[in-house]
Amino acid sequence: MSPLTHKIYINTLILIVLVTTAWLIYIGYDYYSMPLEERFYHPGHADLKPSGPYGHGLGIIGTLLILTGVFGYMARKRFRALSHLGSLKYWLEFHIFLCVLGPVMVLFHTSFKFGGIVSISFWSMVAVVASGVLGRFIYLQIPRTIQGRELSLGEIKDMMEGLGNSISESVQHVPLQTLKEEIIKNNLSAEKSLGFVQRYINEYKAKNKFKERLKAENISSPDIKTIMKLVSEELTIGRRVETLHTMQKYFRYWHVAHLPFCHYHACHHDYSRGGNHCFRIYLDFLKTDMESFIIYFITFFVSTLIIWVYVKKMKKLSDSNSKKIEKAKEEGAYEPVSLYPYIDEDNCIKSGACVIACPEKEIIGIRNGRATLINASRCIGHGACFHACPVEAIALKIGTEKRGVDLPHVSQNFETNVKGIFIAGELGGMGLIKNSVEQGKQAVENIFASVEKNHGATYDLVIIGAGPAGISASLQAKKLGLKAITLEQDTLGGTVYNFPRAKIVMTSPMDLPGYGKVKLFQTSKTELLKLWNAVLTSNDIKIQENQKVELIGKEDSNFSITTLRGDTFKTNRILLAIGRRGSPRKLNVDGEKLEKVYYKLLEPERYQGKDILVVGGGDSAIESALLLADENKVTLTYRSEKFNRLKPLNSQKINQAIDDKKILVLYSSNVLKIEEAQVVLQLDDLSEKTLKNDFVFIFAGGELPTQFLEKSGIQISKRFNYTMKSHK
């Protein structure tokens, strides 16, 4: 290979690496730069995720490039029969090319999220690449032929003498050698003790002085260019001669250090895929000399040390999570009560992505090398773990093997057993604002594809419910050009509207149709409702409030919807986006119909200096009691002996309020009757306790609107361990 061809070859390899890296960044930057819990909503998630066709392909190609680069170069060095396939120098350069491009592709395959045993493989790969770059620099400091053979000291001196003669012959009428020694060598002779960078700076300054003297001698520009090129080559060779023995020694040390890194990375990567590279290393070890023995000993020592530290760290984490699980069982927080992640332990690779992505924290942890549930009852259905898992080992389920949950029959496209009626949001089992918004949008996309042409009804779609799912569905229907109307039995916001005014709403970033990405994590009810009003107004959508649907009737392929106000709406398709709590659960005690009894707290600031009883032990009851406690005398009655399944922050706050005596909590108690000025409670010893009382707030949960659904023909059944969402 000629010098020009070799230069083109090297530049081509460099260009391939740079262009590939730039292309990978260009097509995936907005995805890779997103937080884990938001990536699912990126349009390219299905392809770019590690298990997607594009992401997985990068991992496979990157791994093949690394293995080809490592074992191809090793084979060329070991087997003389391959010597006719090209110079070892070119093989080394191609080895470097493959072992740089491969890790780049693997890095993008991971989508920049890695943990657990995967992280060891990744960082060992980084160490190999870094040591390779260092070795390449040392390699270049040792003078070689174009074929890569290391030159002897005698050959180097002959080359320097030839360059000196070439310089003198370039312009014979000027004593260049004397001039060069006067300016350059004298300037550099006293600088040998200087640092590496400073020597380059001084050399640059000396060459500039020499160039100025050449101009003063009236030498032509082409000759100056030729002379300066020859001088630069001579200085480079001279510098390398000065450091020849040092660099040869460094290169030897580097090779001893680089080989263990390569073997360890290949061994660990192969082990994670079930290969036998480590066994082959052992066979080679039996045939080693003393030097190789030292190399393999270093490999074994480094590998063992890293694995020992890693295993010790994982055992400590596993023991800690085991204690948390035992504590969760004692507190009744281990069993799930709503939507929760189901982890397939056979597929889990312990990347830890699910643990990192979970906004609630300590719902999932790593134990015995696998992800596991810790405080399942505190899960509120974010689903971030479902989207973050790189190997799709997580499904979202509702109900356990022992405890079932009543759910309407809904297909994968959100359609019920009644053709033309769809369900999205909390009613179908998917709570949380972000999930409801996503389902509302997806349901309308399916409805759009199913709406009949020339159906003859007034509307293509009637959306019942203006909560998160209903609002998202209304926006998506507008975007798709459907003729739709939205009916709400109360006021815009649905369940969110019934939150106390000062309640902090926990949500996640979401994509609202016709508006775009909304990044919310902790916001107030007022701010959330203000946002929704603004979005609906900007899209010219009006919600029909105080329109409670009483009856859904079938008319051929269309539907007739009748409200309590007597209004009738004809439509081809229906989307039920109502909550699971069709009506609040009653205590069924005397006095419950008094005007001082409420089932929701909207404006806590209206109550001051009152005796208030809060009934319930869930998050809604706790949050309402805390909001009322500052300005009122609050008593909280709960039928169980302790609080279960509270959000961590609520648990912390209620315990602090009890310690500060701001709230009186009566465990194992029940309301017997409610009177105008007092309430009567039954305590755990069956004795009665009478409390002065102005208001009663009951938070005993809600009842599924079973009667309404069954009257519409929708089937409801109790689901045990039912999969709501999976990757399959």
pLDDT (tens digit per residue) in 254-289: 555 555 555 555 555 544 444 444 544 444 544 445
| Contacts of the segment 141-144: beta carbons below 8 A, 24+ positions apart | 141/240, 141/243, 141/247, 142/240, 142/244, 142/247, 142/248, 142/251, 143/237, 143/240, 143/241, 143/244, 144/89
Which of the listed ranges 140-154, 419-433, 559-573 does the model predict with the highest average pLDDT? 559-573
Per-residue pLDDT averaged across 335-344, rounded?
Answer: 83
CA distance 575 to 421: 6
State the CB neighbour count (10 A cutoff) for residue 311.
Answer: 12
pLDDT at 506 > cutoff 70: no
pLDDT at 219 > cutoff 80: no
Q: How far apart are the first and last CA of the chain?
A: 53
pLDDT at 193 > cutoff 60: no
Q: What is the pLDDT of residue 497?
A: 54
Helix, strand, coil distribution of the chain in percent, nearest 5: 50, 15, 30
* Of 59-73, 268-282, 501-515, 553-567, the least confident: 268-282
Mean pLDDT of the chain: 78
Q: What is the pLDDT of residue 481?
A: 92
The predicted-structure confidence for 84-125, as pLDDT tens digits, reads as follows 787 777 887 888 888 889 888 888 888 777 655 555 566 666
DSSP string, 288-322: --HHHHHHHHHHHHHHHHHHHHHHHHHHHHHHHHH
Please name the residues in contact with 462: beta carbons below 8 A apart, sequence gap of 6 or more.
484, 485, 486, 487, 559, 561, 569, 571, 573, 574, 575
Are 440 and 425 within 8 A, CB to CB?
yes
Per-residue pLDDT averaged across 425-438, rounded?
Answer: 73
- 437 or 250, greater pLDDT: 437
Confidence of residue 492 (pLDDT cuts 50, 70, 90): confident
- 202 or 348, greater pLDDT: 348
- 621 or 229, greater pLDDT: 621
Are 551 and 487 within 8 A, CB to CB?
no
Q: What is the pLDDT of residue 636?
A: 95
Question: Of the candidates 171, 321, 380, 150, which has an alpha carbon nearest to the alpha carbon of residue 251?
Answer: 150
Phi (first) and psi of residue 663, to 5 degrees: -135, 135
pLDDT at 670 > cutoff 60: yes
State the CB neighbour count (10 A cutoff) for residue 630.
Answer: 12
Q: What percent of the chain has pLDDT over 90?
A: 21
CA distance 254 to 271: 26
Question: Angle, to 10 degrees, between the axis of helix 244-272 and the axis of helix 277-285?
Answer: 130
Per-residue pLDDT averaged across 151-155, rounded?
Answer: 50
Per-residue pLDDT averaged across 682-696, rounded?
Answer: 92
- 666 or 67, greater pLDDT: 666
Three-class DSSP labels, 552-580: EEEECCEEEEEECCCCEEEEEEEEECCCC
* Of 25-34, 73-82, 428-437, 694-703, the least confident: 428-437
Confidence of residue 194 (pLDDT cuts 50, 70, 90): low
